[in-house]
């Protein structure tokens, strides 16, 4: 039973990561378009870029954790 629970936890974590990646890219694109149309200064674009990078780094760390957990389950 613990194996299926672990698999379900990893699958859930993978779905969360995929939603974060897709949502981050969509929001980042929308904010860049809206910012350009509204004439916001470049520092806001930099802020949007840094926020997107933070979310993608979080996703990368979680992908690594999922990968390590799967490797541990194999061996």
Q: Give per-residue pLDDT as tens, 12-58.
A: 999 999 999 999 999 999 999 999 999 999 999 999 999 999 999 99
Q: What span, in angstroms and rounded, lies between the C-alpha atoms of 31 and 68?
A: 34
Q: What per-residue confidence (pLDDT) applies to 36?
A: 94
Domain-located, residue 75: no
Q: What span, in angstroms and rounded, lies between the C-alpha atoms of 65 and 58?
A: 11
List, in sequence order, the alpha helices (H) in the chain: 2-38, 42-74
Confidence of residue 1 (pLDDT cuts 50, 70, 90): very low
Domain-located, residue 27: yes
Domain-located, residue 54: yes
- Domain total of the chain: 1
Q: What per-residue confidence (pLDDT) applies to 3?
A: 65
Domain-located, residue 64: yes
Domain-located, residue 53: yes
Question: For residue 1, what is the DSSP state?
Answer: -
Domain, as residue range, for 55: 2-70
Residues 25-39: b if buried by 16+ CB within 10 A, e if exposed = eeebeebbeebeeee
The position carrying tokens 């760390």 is: 61
Domain-located, residue 44: yes
């Amino acid at each position: 039973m613990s194996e299926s629970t672990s698999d379900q936890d990893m699958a859930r974590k993978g779905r969360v990561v995929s939603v974060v990646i897709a949502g981050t890219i969509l929001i980042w694109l929308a904010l860049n378009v809206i910012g350009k149309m509204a004439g916001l200064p470049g520092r806001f674009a930099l802020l949007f870029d840094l926020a997107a990078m933070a979310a993608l780094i979080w996703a990368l760390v979680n992908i690594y954790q999922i990968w390590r957990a799967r490797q541990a389950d194999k061996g």
